[in-house]
Every structure is written in structure tokens, then in C-alpha cells.
Amino acid sequence: MPVVEARRVTRLFPMAAGPIAALRDVSLRVDAGEYVAISGPSGCGKSTLLHLVGCVDQPTSGEILFEDRDVAVLSEAERSRIRLMRIGFVFQRFFLLPMLTARENIELPQAEAGAAAADRRARTRELLEYVGLADRADHLPSQLSGGEMQRVAIARALANRPALLVADEPTGELDEQTGEQVADVFDRVHADGTAILVVTHNPALAARASRRVTMKSGSLVS
């Protein structure tokens, strides 16, 4: 059963000199529990596809179905709710809130989802242990290393038990060894049944996926 499916999506960005096609007639399906890696050169449309699949952006044409719901007909509030409850995001630059501790960053989406305080605390403790940062709960992002920040970001992404984890270059700012640690966490997330769609230039990370696709000039080539 697909978690998300892109059907012949095209995404044009209007420019003064004329529209630029970031994606051309792309179709992609990610099933529940599947681990898919997208590779390709810079500017080939990987991140654009990720944004569409993650309900952050809308295609110019084609359809995005998330858990069989057409994203195009959903309101912004409904798309926001899907991002909150059903999708976890991990980015190259971590995007943790700098004024919040690791614990608070992880609790934030749970609070927005309406989880009780006791449940939030328990889930946050569980996630921090899951990513091996139980002792860093009260540290601010500025007090964490790059690898630690990325693991906190993964914990935050998993806070509301999403069906899909989307990751855009999650090891892009990490050294090889730290990237391996993050990849290990991804393996555990996959093993626990969460679907993963990762965009990466890192061959080692891509190699861990159960399916690899390559993009070039806005299209899937393999």
C-alpha cells in the first residue's frame, strides 16, 4: 500500500526569462515501510520532488496522493496537519529551533498535535534514548555537534510517529563517521516500519536503501 504517490507531476517555476521546469512528468511511489533513496546531480529536481511528496509544495500538473488523498484538494490547514502527524522532515541544515533545548525541540510537534504533557515527556525521553542522546536533553542546539543536532532532528521528525520520513541530504554537513551514525539511525527507523524517502549525494547512505532511483534534468532515469 503506498504511503505517498506522485503521478506524472511537473513543477514549473516562473522566471522573468520564462518558466523553468524543475520536474517533468515524474511518477514515484513509496510504499509503507519502504526505504527509497533518490540520487542525481545538483539541480536535477530531487529536492523539488521531496517538497511535493512532503506536502510542502504543489505540482504545476499531475497528482500527489498521500495515503490515497489528493493533496491538491486539501486546504493549507489539512496539509499542515499531514506534515505534523504523518510526515517527518530531516534536512541538511538540521533546522532545529535555536532557542529551544533538544527536549523542547522534540516536544514541540507533539504539543502542536495535542499530546498530554506526561505523554510528551515519555515520548521525548524514549526518542532521545532511541537516537543515543538521553544525556543531551537539556542542551541547546548550539551546544551540540552536527551529528547530535541531526539526530535530534530525526527524533523530532519521529515525534508523532509518522508514516513517512523524508530527508534532504541528511549527511550533507557531516563527516563520514558521523554520517554513518545518522545512517544507522535511519536503518533502525526503517526496521521499525517507517517508510523513508531520502535525497542524497552520499553513495554509502543511498546503498542502505531498499530501492534507489536516479534523477537527471527533472526526470527519473532509473
Partner 1 sequence: MIGRALRATLIALFLGAAAASAADSPSSAQPPGVLLSRQLAARARVSVGDVVTLAVDANGARGMMVRVAGIYEPTPDPMRFTAQRLEAHMHLPDLAALVADSADPAARELASAINVKLVDAHDAGPFASELAARAPGVIVRPTSRTRDDDPFAVLDRFHVAISAVTVVGATAFLLALMVIRAEERRDTIAILRLIGISRRSLLTAVAIEGLLIAVMGAIFGVIVAVATESLVNGVFQARYDTALVFVRVTRSIAVRSIAIALPLGLAAGIGASWPLLRGQILSLFRR
Residues near partner 1 (CB under 8 A) are 51, 56-57, 76-77, 80-85, 87, 89, 95-97, 108-109, 112, 156-157
| Helix ranges (DSSP H) in 131-175 | 146-157
Considering beta carbons, is residue 86 or 208 the nearer one to partner 1? Answer: 86
Upper half-sphere CA count for residue 140 (Cβ side, 13 Å) = 5
Considering beta carbons, is residue 98 or 193 the nearer one to partner 1? Answer: 98
CB of 45 to partner 1, least distance (A): 14
Taking each helix axis as running N to C, give the angle between helix 102-112 and helix 117-130, from 0 to 180 degrees, rounded to the nearest 10: 130
CB of 164 to partner 1, least distance (A): 13
Considering beta carbons, is residue 78 or 192 the nearer one to partner 1? Answer: 78
Considering beta carbons, is residue 170 or 206 the nearer one to partner 1? Answer: 170
CB of 222 to partner 1, least distance (A): 27
Q: What is the Cα–Cα distance from 69 to 204, expressed in whole angstroms?
A: 33
Sheet holding 164-168, edge to edge: 87-91, 164-168, 195-199, 35-39, 211-216, 219-220
Q: What b/e sequence results for 44-77 when a residue is b if at least 16 CB atoms lie within 10 Å of its CB, and e otherwise?
A: bbbbbbbbbbbbbbebeebebbbeeeebeebeee
CB of 13 to partner 1, least distance (A): 10
CB of 111 to partner 1, least distance (A): 9
Q: What is the Cα–Cα distance from 167 to 188, expressed in whole angstroms?
A: 15
Task: Write out the three cell numbers for 196.
Answer: 523513508
H/E element, 45: none
Considering beta carbons, is residue 83 or 136 the nearer one to partner 1? Answer: 83
Considering beta carbons, is residue 108 or 137 the nearer one to partner 1? Answer: 108
CB of 119 to partner 1, least distance (A): 18
